Every structure is written in C-alpha cells, then in structure tokens.
Amino acid sequence: MERLAVDTQPLVALDPAWPRMTLPQIEAAMTAPGQKFEIETIPIRGVPTKVWKNAPANLAQLLHASRAWGQREFTILEDDRVTFEANFRATAVLARALQAMGVAKGDRVALAMRNLNEWPVAFFAAVSIGAILVPLNAWWTAPELEYGISDSGAKILIVDAERCQRLAEHGAALPGVERVLVARGSAPLEGRFSALEAIIGRPSEWADLADKGLPEVAVGPDDDATIFYTSGTTGAPKGALGTHRNLATNILSGGYAAARSFLRRGELPPEPQPRKALTVIPLFHVTACSANLMGTMAAGNTLVFMRKWDTVQAMEIIERERVNITGGVPTIAWQLIEHPDRAKYDLSSIEAIAYGGAPAAPELVKRIHEEFGALPGNGWGMTETMATVTSHSSEDYLNRPSSAGPAVPVADIRILADDGVTELPRGEVGELYAKGPMIVKGYWNKPEATAATFLDGWVRTGDLARIDEEGFLYIVDRAKDMIIRGGENIYSVEVENALYEHPAVTDAALIGLPHRTLGEEPAAVVHLAPGSEASEAELQAWVRERLAGFKVPVAIRFVHETLPRNANGKILKKDLKGLFDDRLEAAA
C-alpha cells in the first residue's frame, strides 16, 4: 500500500515546549475512575464497546437537564428569542399532543424544516416519548421528501410552510401520514393539515405555556431515536437508524476534545462558560444535530440561526450578538475571511471557527488563526457514525493541518487492506473502519446494506485513510463516487440516473471538480444518442426538476464516443477531468 508523507511543518510558530502532555497521558488522566470522562466497557448488540459512563441515559434526560439553564437564551432567529425554560415548556406540550395523536414508542415522526426555533422543539418532543424522529433534508425536492416520508413509514409529519407548499404543489400523496403539523404557515389548512401554533403557539408565547412536564416513557440508551438519510451508491437514500446513546455520546466527546486542547498546552481546563454559536449548517445534518445541538443543550450555549447564509448578514449577527463560535463548512470560513467589508464589523468575539463535511485547504487553517486570532476546528465522522469519531482543534490542528485529528477515547479506528481483514501498519493507506458507541444500528429496512456495512460493531466507511504514529487520522480519499459540495453530499449515481432519464442521453458520468471555497462542484460528461440533441442548459434544467439544486452539474461536456470503461465495465472517471481544463485552471 502507498505510504504518504506526514505534515512536517506547523503553520504557525508553536511554543517549543508544546505539547506539554501526550495524548495517552491526557486520556489516562481524564478517563480514570471517578473522573467526568470516565470510560466503561459494556456490551452493545453483543459487542464489548467503550462508552462514556456519565453520558445521559436518553434524550429526555438531556432535555430535563437543560431546564436548569432557565432564562438563558437557547435559540435566536431574528426577533424570536427562546429561553431554555420556554423551549422545555413548548417541547413538553408538543410531546403530550403527539401522544394524543396516537404516537407511541417506535412510531416515526418526520421533520422537514429549515433551522427554526421550532426544530429542536419538534425533535425533542418526539424522541422524549420514544418515537423515532426522521430529520429530512429541507433542500430536497418534493419527490425526494416523499421518498423519505414513505420509506420511514412516518405517522406524523412536521413541516414549515415552504416544505408544505413544495409537497402540495407536487401533489405528494404522503401515504401513511395521519397528521401534518405546519409551522409558520399563512395559507388555510384543512383535513389532516393543521397549524403547529394551534398546539404550542408562536415562539414568543412559549414562556407563558403551562408547565405540564414531559410524559413518562421508559426509554433505554440503545433504543431507537432517529433516522438520518444518507444517499447510497445505489442511488436510493438509506436511513441510518440511530439510538439515544449515539446522540448522547457526542456531548462528552465534544467536551473531552475541548479539555484536551488546554492540557496539551499545559493548562487546566477552565469551568465551561456559555457560548453563542452562529449555526449555519442545517440541523437535519448529524453534524449540527448530534455534534452541536446535543452539546448546546448540555452546556447551556445559545444557537443563533439565520434564514439563509449571507456573509454580510452573518457579520452583522456576529457583531450584534457577540457570537463566539461559527463555521459548519469551509465555504463559510473562506467567505468571512475574504469579504471586502469585513473590517467594517467587530468580529473580535469569535473564538473558534470549526467545520467538517468538506475538504479544507491547510491555508484556511492558517488564515483563520491569523485573520481572527481564532482557533480552527475540524474532525471526521459520517451519518453512520452520528457525527464525531475524531476531533481536531487548536494547536494540534495548526500543527497537522491536513489531518482530521485523533479518535475520541471511546472510539476505535483501524485501516484495513483490500481483503477487509488485514490491519495495515501505521502510515499505510487502506480503508477506514470505525467502532464505538456512536455507530448507528444499521440502515432502516435494508438488511443487505446493513450486513455489508456494519460488521461486529465496526462500520466500513468506504474512505481511504491512514493513521500516523501518534494516532492522528488522515483522510486520503472519500467514498467512491461521492462529491462533497459545500458540506452537502452528492452521490454520482443519483445525478447520473437523472441524466439517463433524458431521452437523448445514452451515457453519463458525474465527477467532482475542485473549488476553492466549496471544496468540490459536480460536473457531468454526457454522450448523446445518434441524431439526438440536447444543450448544457437543457440538461441542467432537467436535473434541477428532479433533484435538489446543489446536485445540478455546474458544467456539462459532450463527447462523441461512449465513455471510457475498464474491463469490468466501470467508467474511468479519472480520464474525464481533462475535459474541464478551463474550469480547473480557473479554480487553481
């Protein structure tokens, strides 16, 4: 196997005595019996697994604990400012209403909405009563949304007005859905459609709701909690079935990573202080929901939402709200750094800019530190790992800018050869496997896909990676045929299938082109049937009608011959990038 070079030069000058503690020293001290980050080993689905001993047993317990933050602000969206107490009261009222609608433990409740104050209310109302919450991608088209609703077997659907209109305009049948609750709608509702406000009121009214308390439902750590959809290489999205333990694990994983940074520089971790985070990444992603929302509830932090990303508006919010943390994907960091009006705004409150979900240039790591005096953060995870497996931040990230960081102590990572059995030595490249209490149960109603991906507690990631001598992970290449555009996963076969539906297209391939801020963009190569015609704009419009906008190829090239293939019939995509030399030169 190929052995790749490691990062040899730090991006900034570090304390010559850094690090003051090694990773094993920190882990031994912080995870010892009686410590906050104590680890124990228990069987999960028959596999001995390391877990955080002090993690919440379920998400209802987390919600109850968050009530201790009282009048501290939890979510902010423009003029809607919701405290932790108001959030708890609204969640409890909705939880009881869902039970009155017949929602029982194990029933699915689908949620399709942008980042609104109502999103966490809907999420915790469902999972607190043992229901399975299904967060759907709000960018999906109506057919894509309909697939997720139908595949999950959702009994209740909670949407915002935009998603409701999108489904209505396309005549979505929504089989099996008994009630649809619509947030922030203005159009008249009838039949199984009703206003969410009729149950909990507007966010400004939640503080005045009666304190009814959460219903008592017996929910265990390994009971089902969520179904997050992740597109598969077969084209059809797969629902990753997560548990309460999966989500609760991220609370202590994040806390451990933060404390580790202080100990690496020889400082005692301070008592946690409330932080404000400008949350731009959608909550329907595991990064925002599992890695961020869960920790926010536990730490008493504040989530500041914005309707749509706009760099100037973001800088206005950072200045007005004194935001401490932002990020999500590298695109956001680049746009903040390079905006010509940045000096007009006071962004001095920013302490950290963290991101994941897309490749980041080492230059960005350096620029974050130089331009903002902020510490960069990154990590590795996937939908199947309910976010965090490795965590990378502060001086460690500045020292190893192309790494994804070391695994959190409750996670194990290993690199296997092509045979899926032989573990490779440190430094060699192979397929990455991960194990720990964050690994989901499997794929919803897809036993064959589950059996192929989840093996004795390990998840087969499809990513090519290496681990250095100190345990730092480096992702070398991602899952086959997947393109990550600004943090959004695009699976080639899905777009290729849409192109194949066009009557003029007989051969098609999607590839990723590098983009400085988005990481990658999708582009297509197409062969048309003899005598047929189709333009680039026509095919782009064709795809846009069938898939979410971020999946539409930014460029399409036409070839006279069918696409090059190997002996097994697989398209040689690496041979196609030369057709986009003009765009590659522009991106360089």
The residue type of 244 is H
Give the span between the Cα atoms of 216 and 62, in whole angstroms: 14
Which tens digit of pLDDT belongs to each residue from 237-283?
899 999 999 999 999 999 999 999 999 999 999 988 899 999 998 99
Question: Which H or E run includes 159?
Answer: strand 154-160
Picking from 224, 258, 264, the residue whose alpha carbon sits closest to that of residue 241 is 224
User: What's the confidence (pLDDT) of residue 219?
Assistant: 98
Q: Which pair of tokens denotes residue 144?
A: 């894509």
Q: How many domains, the chain?
A: 3
Q: Which pair of tokens denotes residue 378?
A: 């990154």
184 & 276 share domain: no
**Number of neighbouring beta carbons within 10 Å of residue 199:** 18
- Of 420, 442, 477, the position where a domain reaches its end is 477
Q: Does residue 206 surpass a pLDDT of 50? A: yes
Q: Is residue 14 part of a domain?
A: no
**CATH code of the domain containing 407:** 3.40.50.12780
Q: Does residue 13 surpass a pLDDT of 80? A: no
> How confident is the model over 85-104, as a mean pLDDT?
98
Confidence band, pLDDT 50/70/90 cuts, at residue 373: confident
248 & 170 share domain: no
- Of 454, 477, 500, the position where a domain reaches its end is 477
Give the span between the Cα atoms of 20 and 68, in whole angstroms: 36
214 & 345 share domain: no
CA 301 from chain centre, in angstroms, equals 19
Q: Is residue 559 part of a domain?
A: yes
User: What's the confidence (pLDDT) of residue 354?
Assistant: 86
- Of 415, 444, 477, the position where a domain reaches its end is 477
**CATH code of the domain containing 96:** 3.40.50.980
Give the span between the Cα atoms of 440 and 385, in whole angstroms: 6
Confidence band, pLDDT 50/70/90 cuts, at residue 563: confident
C-alpha distance from residue 510 to each of 457, 475, 530, 552 (Å): 33, 22, 21, 10
346 & 441 share domain: yes
**Secondary structure (3-state) at 226:** strand
442 & 337 share domain: yes
The residue type of 236 is A
Longest Cα–Cα distance in the chain: 75
**For residue 455, what are the β-bridge partners?**
458
Which tens digit of pLDDT belongs to each residue from 285-301?
999 999 999 999 999 99
Q: Does residue 139 surpass a pLDDT of 50? A: yes
Give the span between the Cα atoms of 79 and 203, in whole angstroms: 10
Question: Count H helices, E strands: the chain?
Answer: 18, 29
Q: Is residue 2 part of a domain?
A: no
65 & 206 share domain: yes
Q: Is residue 232 part of a domain?
A: no
Q: Is residue 1 part of a domain?
A: no
User: What's the confidence (pLDDT) of residue 5?
Assistant: 35
Give the span between the Cα atoms of 387 and 361, in whole angstroms: 21
Q: Which domain holds residue 66?
A: 59-219
Q: Is residue 551 part of a domain?
A: yes
User: What's the confidence (pLDDT) of residue 8?
Assistant: 43
Sign, Cα dihedral of 478, 482, 483, 485 = negative
HEC assignment per residue over 431-472: EEEEECCCCCCEECCCHHHHHHHEECCEEEEEEEEEECCCCE
Give the span between the Cα atoms of 273 and 428, in whole angstroms: 41
37 & 144 share domain: no
Q: Does residue 440 surpass a pLDDT of 90? A: yes
174 & 248 share domain: no
429 & 503 share domain: no
Q: What percent of the chain has pLDDT over 70?
A: 93
